[in-house]
Chain A
């Protein structure tokens, strides 16, 4: 897998990376058309169905009543144990605009192939989840 599904703005950021890092990657234009709204994102989040382990983490969020509590809560999330279904649910809830924001922040940070693979993976998740099937 060496395709990077990027919007025009993201491509600009990618092209600003050192040539050595860009080598071996094929940029594909990301053309998702998605009408996003605050209300829609809330509903997507509301409809999120996660595995019991992650659900259990949610029950302890009430302890995050201070910045320190918040940090501890986030640190306690065992994100490595997410299932594929959890990842689909989470990225769908995030939505293409939020994922785009994450990509815009992360692309300029890329320093290695490993970093770029992470960017590619996030972009692929957005592409798969938010590209309608051809009918």
Chain B
């Protein structure tokens, strides 16, 4: 098969950048809209002609979970290149200007995720994006095998030539991206709902400032005494919330296995110490974890269902 070249994406190539007198930034696209060419250029450090790498990236971009992990890698790469990229006004404004108190990496991850999401959410972008992925994948047997694993029902007529394969892939991705766009739309609606609720929470706390301050002082005091059994459950809840916050968007798959095993093992150890009448080990902070995590939903997957059970309190 002869590698096809994407004609849809307009990201400048490394040599164009050198022509523009931007030596030293040759591996960086002039802007980042979440397109395949730009991602390959950014992550590849100028090896964007590496078809296998490009195909691998294209496969990652076909599904939501891999896309999130990829977005995280891109964010890490942008941080690595921060000094260099900040000189570019577009990058500076879009990626490196953060609100006071806002975490830079989290901000960049969000922007990257959103940019890639736009290629799928926006109907006008979707076809072009699908086409670039299809072209990259069609010419790499390994990537094609992956796609066949992802979509066992995917078929095309090999007798019709390479173009038929590209077309079939493109059609499949467009259909899939339409479904993903629907899901993303729901997610965005949920985000809007939570943002609104969160601003209400600020008002509620202001309204009951006295009660709130009393409670926060008590909570801080119990955390100071890890020997208080009650505190350990709260610590577990909070720690797990931090893990979800960190892992839900970017490393959920990685954390899913780790989380349950870690908590169950620790809980068993702590339970033994408690039954023996010993003091709770202040070092772990995970006392009672097994009860909280697995007590309610023993057969549920670890992270998504840690506490959620009843729809209404």
What is the CB-to-nearest-CB distance from B40 to chain A, in angstroms, rounded to a whole number?
25
Chain A residues within 8 Å of chain B by Cβ, number: 80
Closest to B289 in A: A74
B311 at the interface (CB under 8 A from A): yes
Chain B residues within 8 Å of chain A by Cβ, number: 79
Within 8 Å by CB of A129, from B204, B235, B243, B261, lies: B204
Among B237-274, those with CB < 8 Å from A are 237-239, 241-249, 251, 258-259, 261-263, 265-266
What is the CB-to-nearest-CB distance from B306 to chain A, in angstroms, rounded to a whole number?
7
Write out, one digit per residue, whether chain A residues 113-135 have a CB within 8 A of any chain B CB (1) or not (0): 01101111110110111111100
What is the CB-to-nearest-CB distance from A88 to chain B, in angstroms, rounded to a whole number?
6
Within 8 Å by CB of B212, from A7, A55, A79, A124, lies: A124
Contacts of B201 on A, CB cut-off 8 Å? 88, 92, 129
Closest to B282 in A: A75
> How far is it, in angstroms, between the C-alpha of A93 and the C-alpha of B129 when the chains are bound?
35
Closest to A7 in B: B313
Among B252-307, those with CB < 8 Å from A are 258-259, 261-263, 265-266, 283-286, 288, 291-292, 295-296, 304-307
A77 and B239 contacting across the interface, CB-CB below 8 Å:
yes
What is the CB-to-nearest-CB distance from A105 to chain B, in angstroms, rounded to a whole number?
5
B203 at the interface (CB under 8 A from A): yes
A97 and B307 contacting across the interface, CB-CB below 8 Å:
yes
A1 and B214 contacting across the interface, CB-CB below 8 Å:
yes
> How far is it, in angstroms, between the C-alpha of A32 and the C-alpha of B215 when the chains are bound?
18
Whether A80 contacts B258 in the complex (CB less than 8 A), given A39-B187, A42-B244, comes out as no
B223 at the interface (CB under 8 A from A): yes
Select the stretch in B89-97, B169-177, B188-196 that faces chain A.
B188-196
A82 and B220 contacting across the interface, CB-CB below 8 Å:
yes
> How far is it, in angstroms, between the C-alpha of A109 and the C-alpha of B271 when the chains are bound?
14
A71 and B219 contacting across the interface, CB-CB below 8 Å:
no
Closest to A83 in B: B216
Select the stretch in B29-37, B43-51, B226-234 that faces chain A.
B226-234
B229 and A109 contacting across the interface, CB-CB below 8 Å:
yes
Within 8 Å by CB of A58, from B191, B238, B242, B292, lies: B242
What is the CB-to-nearest-CB distance from B292 to chain A, in angstroms, rounded to a whole number?
6
Closest to B251 in A: A62
B284 and A57 contacting across the interface, CB-CB below 8 Å:
no
Within 8 Å by CB of A54, from B198, B213, B224, B242, lies: B242
A79 and B238 contacting across the interface, CB-CB below 8 Å:
yes
B211 at the interface (CB under 8 A from A): yes
Whether A36 contacts B311 in the complex (CB less than 8 A), given A70-B262, A79-B238, A93-B241, comes out as yes
Among A39-87, those with CB < 8 Å from B are 39-49, 51-52, 54-55, 57-59, 61-62, 64-67, 69-71, 74-75, 77, 79-80, 82, 84, 87
Closest to B297 in A: A101
A46 and B230 contacting across the interface, CB-CB below 8 Å:
no
> How far is it, in angstroms, between the C-alpha of A64 and the C-alpha of B261 when the chains are bound?
12
What is the CB-to-nearest-CB distance from B176 to chain A, in angstroms, rounded to a whole number?
20
> How far is it, in angstroms, between the C-alpha of A124 and the C-alpha of B216 when the chains are bound?
9
A-B contact pairs, 13 of them (CB 8 A): A1-B214, A34-B313, A43-B191, A49-B102, A70-B266, A74-B236, A74-B286, A79-B235, A82-B220, A84-B213, A97-B308, A98-B241, A109-B229
Given contacts A51-B101, A54-B242, A67-B266, 18 further A-B contacts (CB under 8 A): A40-B193, A42-B304, A46-B248, A61-B243, A62-B251, A65-B258, A74-B236, A77-B235, A77-B239, A79-B235, A96-B313, A101-B307, A105-B292, A106-B233, A111-B229, A124-B215, A125-B219, A128-B215
B interface residues (Cβ-Cβ under 8 A, vs A): 101-103, 105-106, 187, 190-191, 193-195, 198, 200-201, 203-205, 207-208, 211-220, 222-224, 228-231, 233-239, 241-249, 251, 258-259, 261-263, 265-266, 283-286, 288, 291-292, 295-296, 304-313
